[in-house]
């Protein structure tokens, strides 16, 4: 079981992702406030971040890049998500570990999440 943080301003998507990931055995926290991402990671000992590209007027790639440059935040894997065309390259260049295009299916989400968690378990 991993501690996962979802940062998405669409509450229904956040709750759907939470249900899917909790059903897979993970402990999930949802936030609609990208400005509190660092605080949430540190307070909840987060092991994986699911980050939307566009959150309430904030560009998720900026949040991702800031986290990657912040020495106070552990280098946890970040999966970025977006329905925008060609967003994958931009997200990865900002430091995202993986990118998932919206809409995605449950199996894709679970397999990518588990694959990344397995790869990063044991790394600190």
Provide the CATH number for the domain around residue 67: 3.40.50.2300
**Cβ–Cβ < 8 Å for 80, 53:** yes
pLDDT tens-place string over residues 96-111:
999 999 888 889 999 9
pLDDT at 18 over 80: yes
88 falls within a domain = no
- Give 49-75 pLDDT, tens digit per residue: 999 999 988 999 999 999 999 999 988
- Is 23 a member of any domain? yes
Instruction: Give the domain range for residue 111.
Output: 3-7+18-80+95-118
**Could you tell me the CA-to-CA distances from 31 to 52, 78, 123 in Å, in that order?**
11, 15, 25
Quote the pLDDT of residue 123: 52
CA 89 vs CA 31, 71, 98, 112: distances in Å: 24, 24, 10, 17
- Mean pLDDT computed over 37-54: 96
How many domains is the chain built from?
1
Kindly tell me if the per-residue pLDDT of 124 is higher than 60: no
Could you tell me which of 96, 92, 90, 97 has the C-alpha nearest to residue 116?
97
Across the chain, how many H-helices and E-strands are there?
Answer: 5, 7
Does some domain include residue 13? no
Which residues are CB-contacts of 121 (< 8 A; sequence separation ≥ 6)? none
Residue 86 lies in a domain: no
């Amino acid at each position: 079981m991993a501690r996962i943080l979802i940062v998405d301003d669409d509450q229904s998507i956040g709750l759907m992702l939470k249900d899917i990931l909790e059903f897979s055995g993970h402990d999930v926290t949802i936030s609609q406030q990208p400005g509190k991402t660092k605080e949430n990671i540190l307070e909840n000992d987060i092991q994986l971040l699911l980050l939307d590209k566009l959150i309430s007027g904030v560009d998720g790639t900026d949040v991702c890049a800031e986290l990657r440059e912040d020495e106070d935040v552990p280098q946890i894997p970040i999966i970025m998500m977006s329905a925008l065309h060609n967003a994958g390259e931009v997200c990865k260049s900002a430091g995202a570990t993986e990118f998932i295009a919206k809409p995605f299916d449950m199996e894709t989400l679970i397999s990518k999440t588990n694959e990344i968690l397995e790869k990063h378990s044991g790394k600190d």
